[in-house]
Structure 1
């Protein structure tokens, strides 16, 4: 169960964020409304939500998940692989000190973004991507093992982050799409295959028995509902324009 979440408001500079989506420029005013609804949905799922103010110096900083991995035993500050995002980590330690005694750090030349890390109980799957290199993954694995966790590396071929294409919904249920459908690393899970035309919906988040699903993906929504979860549909269309999804917008712990 999660008790807390930390989010960061999008700034007006978000329109200059990194993207490969080719879906047009985000509309800031709509993004603000969507972000507030996202926060309200997390509260509906029973979380206390700390909302950090926007940082105009970093257009992608609303995607706060990437800058830290929060476990039950420690917080780990990452080192983003995107050069324009490295400064985002400066303000995070002071925020996390309110919640954690043990704070660890990934050091250069290692890079890692927590969008590449999926928690399954005491095992953390770490995607090796354009943003997460082997050095960063090895540092993360070493820190996790220090606190009694295990780590499994997952080479990525097509997607930006691991959780772009795979999401753990607890109870051994795993949303999978694209390159992960046949991956032997996920053989032991009850795989819920996301159709190719709804691939974006592979990024959902489980929060205390609820599953947040992006708006507009009815097939995926129905499958998740049929598994017995309470589905919360959330519109994040403006964040999708920046390659962002539901998980990217919060740290949940």
Structure 2
């Protein structure tokens, strides 16, 4: 089966200032201490695993006072050489975006204007089969996707997230190749599942228990699936489909509600948008 056309170049941010100093999702508990030395080891292990699988990893410098900047997936959406900045729901994360805009603009990226409504980057929008599977209902909004469809020319398929624990789409959905994706049915509304059933020819269901282990928050490089955890059942299912599973312990980052995908932003995505044509948002 054809591999994903993207997922060979990632942006990561070292966890120099990572901690749980506020709570903006059900996983965050400010009484839980982060072991920063262990977090650095886990982050380096993830970056090394991605590179060993054949990916390029760029690093944006961390910034004091922005502990969640390590979760670069939420920084925005990439389309070719254009960066569409995220519009964060929570004030604690909003200052991250200015740093990413300056860093990418300094490397000859085109920086677009963010939507007026909340949209939390690639953490809530992943490309699959010619469309952008876009989450809403917890953090991002449908209004933001309508704006992006009109301005960028993308085809966007929205899915509603039904469980506050799975507050971004990358906790419930993971493209694996051109026809296969991990899907956590228990985290999505029934209409959204019907929409995905029409879109994904070969879905790999993830149980609620596996979703809570962040199994769907994985990064795919070719036929290698880099996962924060993987049950024996899910491992067998993936191996039967010709994937190699590489488990990376990122448990320090799980304290803030993040896994492998959250810690990466794919820089090699091309959504083939045509800004002269208005695309439909399937809601």
TM-score (norm 1): 0.89
In the other structure, the counterpart of 1:15 is 20
Contact in 1 for aligned 2:28/2:255 (Cα 8 Å) = yes
Tell me if 1:152 matches 2:157.
yes
* Structure with the bigger percentage of helix: 1
| Matches of 1:155 and 1:130, distance apart in 2 | 8
C-alpha deviation, 1:93, in angstroms? 1.9
Do the aligned partners of residues 203 and 102 (structure 1) sit closer, same or farther apart at CA in structure 2, a change above 3 Å counting? Answer: same
Q: The residue matched to 1:76 in structure 2 has which SS?
A: strand
Contact 1:21 1:242 in 2 (8 A): yes
Q: Distance in 1 between matches of 2:115 and 2:196?
A: 29
Deviations 1:169-203 (A, max 9, x none): 11311111113485111113211111222112122
Gap runs ≥5 in structure 2: 1-5, 269-283
Higher relative contact order (CA 8 A, sep 6+): 2
Closer/same/farther in 2, CA of residues 56 and 218 from structure 1, 3 Å limit: farther
User: How many residue pairs end up in the alignment?
Assistant: 249
Unpaired runs of 5+ residues, structure 1, are: none
TM-score by length of 2: 0.80
Q: Is the 8 A contact 1:128 1:137 kept in 2?
A: no
Q: CA RMSD in A?
A: 2.1
Question: Does the alignment pair 1:36 with 2:44?
Answer: yes
Among candidates 181, 193, 196, match of residue 186 of structure 1: 196
- 1:205 pairs with one of 207, 219, 227: 219
Q: 2:187–2:208: 8 Å Cα contact kept in structure 1?
A: no
CA spacing shift, 1:60–1:22, aligned 2, 3 Å: closer
Query: In structure 2, what is the Cα distance between the partners aligned to 1:132 and 1:181?
Result: 15
- TM-superposed CA distance for 1:107, in Å, is 3.8
